[in-house]
Structure 1
Amino acid sequence: MELSQEELRKKFTDLSQNPFQQTKFSRNTKIRKIIKEFANFSQEKLRLENKAVKIAGRIINRIRRFGELTFADLADQSGVVQLKVVRNKDFARVSSGDIIGITGKICKTDLQEEKNKQELSIEIEEFIVLAKCQQTLPDTAHYKLKDTEERFRKRYLDLLVNTENRDILITRHKIIQSIRQFLDQKEFIEIETPILVSEASGAQAKPFITRHNKLHRDFHLRIATEIPLKKLLVGGFEKVYEIGRIFRNEGIDARHNPEFTTIEVYQAYENSEHMMNLTEKLLHYLAKEILKKEEFEFNSHNISLKENFRKMSMIAAIKEHINLDFSQVNNLEQALELAKKHNLRLEKFQKSIGQVILAFFEEYVEKKLVQPTFIYDYPIEVSPLAKNKAENKDIADRFELYIGGLEFANGYSELNDPIEQKKRFEEQTKQKELGNEEIASFDKEFLEALEYGMPPAGGLGIGIDRLIMLFTEQNSIKEVIAFPQLKSKTEEK
């Protein structure tokens, strides 16, 4: 229940100091450290130690009062510890949700429920209120924020009450930190590239458009970091990457958020096979560094990273899962007839054998790829920035990694021929005219950069958010993003 202004004013004036004027509280330890160091000490040993600590945090759960004794639970980011308050009238003005700083002695208090058992506690000697909670805080012992949309709308409360969700974001930090360590050890350099770009290129996605008033021109929010990173290869860098935010004006569901985080990696003088191996080594490294295990559950499947990842061509994967052999399909009419026979809906722009092959793969095969599997040999029509195989101009030297029925990584041998790249952009423009809104812009600046010469290179892109989903065993992308985008409340109704 929301307090009136008069009630709030009384709560503040009852305190010896205005909590909102406090600027600092010097702590000498964290709650987790106290628990780790003193949890196994006996009541008598703690009395002899007479250890004083200064800690700060939020009062959670219900404050319990028994005559002259008061008990409360204090939480900081690292953990929760019980507070013991003896004959302190001022503490009666503290409420659940208040943030306080305390000085006290580590002790153990007898448990009412179980004889001969004690709980690690801090007996307060002095305290100060650092921020006053003006709303009723949910009781973490009896209540969890269950409504999914409401949890994300009030994410601060979700993270406060559901501490396991806070742990997901801590794991996210560790994974991104470990990715950087992995690449830095291999002498890659991280370089930041623009978010506001003149052309939305480097991927197939519908962009957001924004206006710059001073320059009197429209910009796009980037849909990929690929193009500027490849310009860096032209500029003389040989091993570059960027972890950054990407923006795509598309749908929202359990796997997609309009803004998300990716890493793109480029290495001169290497190819798609090298990037495939780099991808596998990175995932094994993260599993050992962060998970400390190589088997876990994801998307209702038991996933194992113990063995080498499976590798299959796209045509072989289709043949294995739906018993169609596209190596025997020689013309578009045959491909379209197969699509009709299997009730596969095609868009107007999907009028090539390669596009039909990809449509079959995405509809009938992708979700069946449970254990880590590299799919390679993509149709060239759907790979406008990749080189074709030397032995087959219709096949791109490209791969994608699938785990638990989801795509996690995309890589290829980068196309560095400006004449061929211009031809690919022109073919893509024709698809856009047929209604494909996700076709990238015709990027003249990138073509000019290629004319100065880009070395042969391997490129790799990984969706960081999906990687976090995998390693924290979450089925929704919203759980691994601190503040995901949501529908408006009026739209929900």
Structure 2
Amino acid sequence: MGSSIDTMSAWWTPDVHLDRRPFLLGRNAIQSAMRGFFAARGFLEVDTATLQISPGNEAHLHAFATTGITTSGHPTPLYLHTSPEFACKKLLAAGEKRISCFAHVYRNRERGPLHHPEFTMLEWYRAGETYETLMRDSAELMALAADIMKTKTFTYRGRGVDPFLEPERLSVAEAFQRYANIDLLATIDSDGGTDRDHLATKLKDAGIRVAEDDSWADMFSRVIVERVEPELGFGRATILDEYPTSEAALARRSPKDSRVAERFELYACGVELANGFGELTDAAEQRRRFEAEMLEKQRVYGETYPLDEDFLAALTIMPPASGIALGFDRLVMLATGAPRIDLVMWAPVAVYGS
């Protein structure tokens, strides 16, 4: 691989494209194999609309906004979706049982080696099946990508993982105890409520910075970013499971412990690859969670997004299901050995701003 990919030359210059091309051909091969994986298991590939009434209602996801104009000239706010999730769940409500979707998604305020404002999300859903099934799916897809690229190891920033080993399954509470010596569940009530001051004390004891205006969620995220994520997915992949209910806006509560939810994330080489749920289908509870998320978004960023009332209505007839979103470009990065996410995109977004 030449050095031109490390220059400031545009991606479309012949020398840069020549160096990027092996990554891109690897991307195509992996995507083709994954389509075969899902087809062999009875999944129907769907294609959802990018423009939506609501881009999603998680506090720390940022959307690109636009305006639709009717034939009579009436303006209507629209957003580029941050995930095809709402549309896919409407299809489950409509009667589909197993669906997969390669979707271009859009997230503002995101750019870096692992982030891009437009990227490809692979989502798939299983009606009537548990979220543990998704854990097996995601491990098999990781191994499939490695097999296609004929590599035995994924490496990122000098550290590696064997993509063929069964992932370690670790609860968030276990990770907090192991990597920060914090008893996380002691700061969560049985109804999912959180004790901000209790967690603040635990962070200070662990030598982690706490600001006066930090919320429980702010401190939770700081421990995840500073102490937990840097330790995950080395040697073998890690499934980080059982997130606190307050950190799983679209997942149902665990039947084993009401303080946590059926949400997991898959990590390899310290990189988050996938985010899976046992899906919440209680429309009233989902509305309450979205409203709480939007209050937090207003507090932190001074803006909110509308709720998708069609989505909430669809939840009332959606069957029990599990669903997952996998960052396809990130997996391609690890499988091909690309050091940056833009190198595995055929035509990345031009750099803007600073």
Aligned to 2:112: 253
1:271-300 deviations in Å (ceiling 9; x for gaps): 211111111122122222x12233243331
Q: 1:380 to 1:397 in 2, by over 3 A?
A: same
Q: 1:233 maps to which residue?
A: 92
Amino acid at match of 1:467: L
What displacement does 1:436 show? 4.5
Instruction: Give SS of 2:259's match.
Output: strand
- Residues 1:158 and 2:22 aligned together: no
**Counterpart mapping for 1:331-370 below 5 A:** 331-341=195-205, 342-345=207-210, 348=213, 351-352=215-216, 356-370=219-233
Q: Which amino acid aligns with 2:67?
A: R
- Name the residue aligned to 1:473: 337
Unaligned runs of 5+ in 2: 189-194
Q: CA deviation at 1:483?
A: 2.3
Equivalent residue number for residue 197 of structure 1: 52
Q: 1:257/1:438 Cα in 2 relative to 1: closer, same or farther (>3 Å)?
A: farther
Structure with greater strand percent: 1
Indicate conservation of the 8 Å contact 2:127/2:321, yes or no: yes
- 1:310 corresponds to which of 168, 176, 182: 168
Aligned residue for 2:260, secondary structure, equals strand
Is contact 1:355-1:382 (8 Å) kept? no
| Residue 155 (structure 1) shift | 2.3
Q: Alpha-carbon deviation of 1:367?
A: 1.5
Larger Rg: 1
Contact 1:344/1:360 (8 A) holds in 2: no
1:450 aligns with 2:315: yes
In 1, the alpha carbon distance for the partners of 2:212 and 2:250 equals 22
Q: Cα offset for 1:218?
A: 2.3
Letter in 1 for 2:332: I
1:183 maps to 2:38: yes
Structure 1 distance, partners of 2:15, 2:302, is 36
Query: Deviation digits for residues 17-49 of structure 1, max 9, x if unmatched?
Result: xxxxxxxxxxxxxxxxxxxxxxxxxxxxxxxxx
2:67 corresponds to 1:211: yes
One-letter code of the match for 2:22?
Answer: D
State the match for 1:378 in structure 2: 243
* Unpaired runs of at least 5, structure 1: 1-139
Distance in 1 between residues matched to 2:240 and 2:212, nearest whole Å = 23
Which residue of structure 2 aligns with residue 323 of structure 1? 181
Alpha carbons of 1:357 and 1:439: their partners in 2 closer, same or farther (altered >3 Å)?
Answer: farther
The share of aligned pairs that are identical, in percent, is: 28
Seen in structure 2, the aligned counterparts of structure 1 residues 264 and 202 have a Cα distance that, compared at 3 Å, is: farther
Tell me the SS of whatever aligns to 1:378: coil
Change (3 A) 1:375 1:439: farther
**Mapped contact 2:245–2:253 kept (Cα < 8 A):** yes
TM-score scaled by length of structure 2 = 0.89
Shift of 1:347: 9.1
Q: Report if aligned partners of 2:27, 2:344 keep a CA contact under 8 Å in 1.
A: yes
**2:141 is equivalent to residue 279 of structure 1:** no
Q: Which fold has the larger relative contact order, with Cα–Cα distance below 8 Å and residues 6 or more apart in sequence?
A: 2
- Of 256, 267, 288, the residue aligned with 1:391 is 256
1:235 and 1:346, CA in 2 relative to 1: closer, same or farther beyond 3 A?
A: farther
2:274 to 409, 433, 439: 409
1:206 touches 1:438 (CA, 8 Å); kept in 2?
Answer: no
| Counterpart in the other structure of 2:191 | none
Q: Which residue of 2 aligns with 1:47?
A: none
* SS of the residue 2:242 aligns to: strand
Between Structure 1 and Structure 2, how many residues are aligned?
Answer: 341
Matched to 2:68, the amino acid is H
- The change in CA–CA distance for 1:202 and 1:226 in structure 2 (over 3 A counts) is farther
Instruction: Give the superposed CA RMSD.
Output: 2.4
Cα distance change on mapping 1:273 and 1:147 into 2, 3 Å: closer
- SS of residue paired to 2:275: strand
Further displaced range: 176-185 or 385-394? 385-394
C-alpha contact 2:53 2:306 (8 A) present in aligned 1: no
C-alpha distance in 2 between matches for 1:400 and 1:437: 28
Do the aligned partners of residues 438 and 253 (structure 1) sit closer, same or farther apart at CA in structure 2, a change above 3 Å counting? farther
Q: Whole-Å Cα distance in 2 between the matches of residues 223 and 277 of structure 1?
A: 25
- Call closer, same or farther: CA 1:239–1:253 in 2, change over 3 Å: same
Give the Cα separation in 2 of the matches to 1:478 and 1:390. Answer: 41
Specify whether residues 487 and 413 from structure 1 end up closer, same or farther in structure 2 by C-alpha distance, changes over 3 A only: same
- AA matched with 2:158: S
